[in-house]
Structure 1
Amino acid sequence: MEPLFHALHRHHELIAVLDFGSQYSHLIARRLREEGIYSELLPYSVSVEALRALQPRGVILSGGPASVYAEGAPHVQRQLFELPVPMLGICYGLQEMAYQLGGSVEAGTKMEFGRAQMRLLSSVQSDHMYRQVWEGVPDVFSVWMSHGDAMTRLPPGFVDLAATDNCPHAVVAYAPTANGTADAAGASTLPPAALRIGLQFHPEVTHTEHGARILANFCRHLCGCRGDWSMEAYVAEAMQAVQQQVGVSGVVVGAVSGGVDSTVAAVLLSKAIGARFHALFVDNGLLRQDEVDEVMQRLSGRLGVNLRCVDASSRFLQALQGVTDPEQKRKVIGRTFIEVFDAEARRVQAQYLLQGTLYPDVIESVSHKGPSATIKTHHNVGGLPAQMQLQLIEPLRYLFKDEVRQLGRVLGVPAESVGRHPFPGPGLAIRILGDVTPHRLAVLRAADAIFLEELRAADLYHCVGQAFAVLLPCKAVGVMGDCRTYEEVIALRAVETTDYMTADWYPIPYAVLKRMANRIVNEVRGVNRVVYDITSKPPATIEWE
């Protein structure tokens, strides 16, 4: 059964983003939501009938790594372009529009990656159909390009609106005569009223000047969106959806870890159904140092959540014995979580299970031909047994991380909880590469605690989006006290990000790194080497597993 919260499009003006696999696709949806416009990422293969049923105000075709003319390239149904809503094609989306509507796309003579100077043509200022897209945008501005193919012939009825030195068709739009247009064979193409615009550059990335403004202008001026998406409005909608799903007597057991996502979800459920929500905090033996006491005090003591702690650490560690593959770890942990929740649900006679699944979890866990491949299975998305005894409630499923933090503020969650770094559901198991044992957990806990303590001491904790230590599956030779050692290696990871779909490594000052490394090798028995991870996402993920 599709989660009730998928019906958000019924409450808000929707812009549908069709995903062709670009690493930037999710950013399109985020940029629009930041402008107060609800947007949802859908696979390019969504049927025209299903898309029509959603009644979007507009459709955006994302970029993608394929070539439209290649065998097996992802294509939308031709009937999509007959929908009576404005459409915007970005990079591959522009080329798909050209390919489907009678233009030509070929391998470019010169690839264009990185910054380029965009020049709006003089016709833009006089074209009443599209000039509002450029409201507040100068005639020349810097954009981010990422393409090897290029449009070589415009589709019938399309005109150029902007160009770069290397791309004469950098922005194109459908500008028909009063009688519409016809292709070379005399067949009709698009109706005169169709609003179709294509951008060869990526407006969704921060490297493009005025990119967010261009996207917002498209939605507001061409699609007629007012911008009715906010966390203040969402609180009432989400609470009403919970109440409708569980009814007047339904009981919910909560998957609570103490992290931002589960905390916000738990507070939301508490406000929605009161005592019928039973929060369960599972000590799986994979938590950070002093985590159990801190979570109980914060959620139960300060936020008043009805919280019960279950010690299942030995059960989890036993299930993880000999498991080293990261995907298998996640599935084992997810399965064990559900078994524990099932037992608790029977105790309180619950019918529903709350999970703090986020939109990035869904995007990264669901793979389809063409768009983004499965990066990793999230334990609360892909690790669920086929025959689970509880129905899922996922009120955050279509929210990005920054939106969850906003929601927490609206709900009155304290700043220290809202600003807390994410901690993965599988816990330290996916930060220990290789075997998960009590000894290795103790080593990682101690190193991680020092790392976070020094980050806070240097007033850097809130400068990064996520920071943690990783225990590597290898040992290194060292010398301590004039003696040879052969001991564990700790990797430190700190990234700055807003959406956790992309991230840059954070440049911790050398003096701080030196102090961290010195403390770890001196205070954590069994560690003789510390390294710092300076890889961004992509190509890496934030977590190591």
Structure 2
Amino acid sequence: MHQKILIMDFEGRHGQEIAKVIRGFQVYCEIERSSPDNLYINDENTVGLVIVGSAEGNTLKDELDSLLSKAQVPVLGICSDGGFYNKKAGKEITGNSGLHSLKLMHLGNSVLFEDVEKEFEIISSCDGIFADLSHEFKATSLGENGESLSLEKDNFYLLGFYPELSGKNGKKIIENYLYKLCGCNGDWSIDDYIEKQVSEIKKTVGEGGALCALSGGVDSSVCAALAYKAVGDKLKCIFVDTGLMRKNEGDEVEEIFGKILSGSFFRIDAQDRFLGKLNGVTDPEKKRKIIGEEFIRIFEEESGKFEGIEYLIQGTIYPDIIESGVGGSVVKSHHNVGGLPENIDFKGIIEPLNMLFKTEVRELGKKLGLPDKLPNRQPFPGPGLGVRIIGGITKEKLEILREADAIFREELSEIGLDKELNQYFVVLTDIKSVGVRDGKRTYAYTAALRAVKTDDFMTAKWAKLPHDLLQKVSRRITDEVSGINRVVYDITNKPPGTIEWE
């Protein structure tokens, strides 16, 4: 078993970023967002505990304080709201609200700051400034006004800033924590992950067979390749054409995977079925759950056409689980996690990618020898355009959105920006407004353009696209797509927004 760092994320919003940095140092980690009552930190594989607090004032529970007193591993606390630090360090919190930059000077008395520049800029929040010291904690770094920015005692190391956001020095602090305090040996690699998952899939499927849910997106493509490597022809890959795909995408998926998977690929036309189920549904969570259930029901039906199919294999990844609130609060239900029905007619569901972030999934795909355009493909949500149409879904709206989305993608590709962006698409809003076309009044929909840059899809920054590009896309959409007379550009980061609108 791999060494493990456990991250307890109390809605701190930074747990995923920290996890990505830790994995980048070849150390395995998991994020726990459930109650401390269900947390076990003394198993033989857990060598460190990272606590990420909340900038919104959520306090840690008394049970956690009691649990930590028994911890035998180094504990790194990052920008807590104070519920933990007040009890352990006896400090008061001061400062201005929101994230801001501070200059830090470390005192040279901590392993955490070894090989770190004496002074450097950090990113902090009001919750991370220690105004005084007590309970025998020592200060290991100071701010410009003499305030303590980090404290430590025994195996507790408290940071009043976000190391993952504080450049190379912040990342070095995390590296020191992992290798010098926790004794990590860097035993986490994608090659090991592939070997382990292939073995587990073979063992689970046994002499029977498995059905793989294939959408043609990055996650399901890599999942299918991994499962095919494990069980070969015992795998049947089902591509369900929901009618919620982008322009010409169904045919493209069939062309690519019909060759890669040969006789193991099957395309199911279920467009009318999905549109019927979604008729009149406007709530995004209901959409996702309906789509998730219909996927499962179709897979159940198709499995009966093949002998010995007992398992469903799907490309759930770690961010899907986190955002769907498994063990925590729901951001949005993913059709393959929170959107699954309670009763499923399979012996079990296999999710070989469910502990990987998107960047790791892409790396795995390359290791499996998939053509570059597959693991590097722009992500597309499992529910498809169903969550890019705000409000009710109709064939007319789908056609409108397909055409607008195709124009946006075409123009980005024309100038090479598609290679610099991690995700980009068009949302058809439920907003109608008055406009003019060919000298006549129109009353049509507003389309929203969305383009982001991200490393792991847990956080994202809106992309600063050239104004002349935006103007050209807007003109083409309003000129060429009947049903849209206004185009806007979404400049919201994640958080506070999500990448998709629904």
Which TM-score band (shorter chain)?
over 0.9
Match of 2:17 among 27, 37, 61: 27
Q: Which residue of 2 aligns with 1:301?
A: 259
Q: Does 1:251 align with 2:209?
A: yes
Match of 1:120 among 102, 106, 126: 106
Match of 1:98 among 72, 85, 96: 85
TM-score normalised to structure 2 length: 0.95
1:364, 1:376 within 8 Å by CA — same for their partners in 2?
A: yes
Q: Does 1:323 align with 2:303?
A: no
Q: Does 1:376 align with 2:376?
A: no
Q: Which residue of 1 aligns with 2:28?
A: 38
Cα drift, residue 303 of structure 1 = 5.5
Q: Does 1:204 align with 2:164?
A: yes
Deviations 1:384-428 (A, max 9, x none): 111111211001111000000000010011111111111001110
In 2 relative to 1, CA 329–406 (structure 1 residues): closer, same or farther, beyond 3 Å? same
Pairwise CA RMSD: 2.0
Q: Which residue of 1 aligns with 2:313?
A: 354
Measure, in 2, the Cα distance between the counterparts of 1:156 and 1:486. 67
Q: Which residue of 2 aligns with 1:189?
A: none
SS at match of 1:108: coil
Structure 2: state its 5+ residue gaps: none
Cα drift, residue 150 of structure 1 = 4.6
Q: Which residue of 1 aligns with 2:469?
A: 512
1:14, 1:57 within 8 Å by CA — same for their partners in 2?
A: yes
Measure, in 1, the Cα distance between the counterparts of 2:363 and 2:291. 29
2:280, 2:392 within 8 Å by CA — same for their partners in 1?
A: yes
Q: Which residue of 2 aligns with 1:262?
A: 220
Deviations 1:40-82 (A, max 9, x none): 11136334873223531111111213547x6x85761413233
Q: Which residue of 2 aligns with 1:364?
A: 323
2:243, 2:270 within 8 Å by CA — same for their partners in 1?
A: yes
1:66, 1:74 within 8 Å by CA — same for their partners in 2?
A: no
Q: What fraction of aligned residue pairs are identical, expressed as a percent?
A: 39
Measure, in 2, the Cα distance between the counterparts of 1:62 and 1:406. 27
Measure, in 2, the Cα distance between the counterparts of 1:264 and 1:423. 14
Deviations 1:487-522 (A, max 9, x none): 222111111111111111111111211221121122
Cα drift, residue 156 of structure 1 = 3.0
Measure, in 1, the Cα distance between the counterparts of 2:91 and 2:247. 56
Q: Does 1:161 align with 2:140?
A: yes
Q: Does 1:108 align with 2:71?
A: no
In 2 relative to 1, CA 290–115 (structure 1 residues): closer, same or farther, beyond 3 Å? same
2:42, 2:72 within 8 Å by CA — same for their partners in 1?
A: no
SS at match of 1:416: coil
Structure 1: state its 5+ residue gaps: 1-10, 175-193
Measure, in 2, the Cα distance between the counterparts of 1:105 and 1:533. 41
Measure, in 2, the Cα distance between the counterparts of 1:323 and 1:251. 36
Bigger shift: residues 510-519 or 412-421: 510-519
**Aligned length, in residue pairs:** 500
Bigger shift: residues 294-303 or 458-467: 294-303
Q: Does 1:271 align with 2:229?
A: yes
SS at match of 1:243: helix
Match of 1:144 among 115, 120, 123: 123
Bigger shift: residues 328-337 or 59-68: 59-68
1:105, 1:149 within 8 Å by CA — same for their partners in 2?
A: no
- Letter matched to residue 277 of structure 1: L
TM-score normalised to structure 1 length: 0.88
Q: Which residue of 1 aligns with 2:188?
A: 229
Q: Does 1:538 align with 2:495?
A: yes
2:427, 2:447 within 8 Å by CA — same for their partners in 1?
A: yes
Q: Which residue of 2 aligns with 1:61?
A: 51
2:92, 2:132 within 8 Å by CA — same for their partners in 1?
A: no
Q: Which residue of 1 aligns with 2:245?
A: 287
2:79, 2:127 within 8 Å by CA — same for their partners in 1?
A: no
SS at match of 1:492: strand
Measure, in 2, the Cα distance between the counterparts of 1:232 and 1:305. 27
